[in-house]
Structure 1
Amino acid sequence: MSTFRTINKEFASLGFLVGVPYFVFVKQTGKYTMLIVEGEHLKPRRRLGDDRGASEYLYTFYKARYDREDGIPTNIKVYSERESVVVVLNKVRGHLEFLRDNGIQMK
């Protein structure tokens, strides 16, 4: 039995909805507020004469507040920008723990 879990399963276990698999994860925390994680695929860097290279995915974690009906956020707070999924997952877990420890109710 493997203990490997996909990024999708990790975020789902934290209460996030998978918007676009491996790229977009959202969690509503209030009537107007959402936590969002967005992934970015970077093309591999190639050296002269070397066509190989590993793709890299970097993630940004932020909170967005939507007070308007047009879907445009009125406030964005970035917690982590262009980091590895491991770093972002740790930041997300820490943020959720902070909310829980301080009695902040989430939807």
Structure 2
Amino acid sequence: MAGDPGWRVRPDGGRPQGRSCAHIGLLPTSEPSPPAPPAGCADCLSRGWSWVRLRRCVTCGYVGCCDSSRGMHAHDHHVLSGHPVVLSLASDEDWAWCFTDEVFLVRSGHSGSGQARRQRR
């Protein structure tokens, strides 16, 4: 099901306020049980590289490493596929990122830190 007002753009210091995301409707409306965590970034694993954090594409489910990782495979996936939004898979993070609109997205009533996620487990 398409996203809902349960997600909002998180204010991001240094960026203009009032930004929006045209892709917020791609985000899940509820918090389903997360799928089993992947073994890692498949593209990094195939090269023998390590990664920092993982991101899951909300359009197709591709899992790639974050921009702080050597491969930046989640971003590369966005560039190649045009899929705009990824969810953080880090256990201490509870947010999404829209590459196209360059905004953090958090569930309404949450700061985007993993604290809210840990409390719901």
Q: Same fold (TM over 0.5)?
A: no
Q: Determine which structure has more spread, i.e. the larger CA radius of gyration.
A: 1
- Class of the TM-score when normalised by the shorter of the 2 chains: 0.3 to 0.5
Q: Which has the higher strand share?
A: 1
Query: Relative contact order (alpha carbons < 8 A, sep ≥ 6): 1 or 2 greater?
Result: 2
Question: TM-score, normalising length from structure 1?
Answer: 0.33
Question: TM-score, normalising length from structure 2?
Answer: 0.30
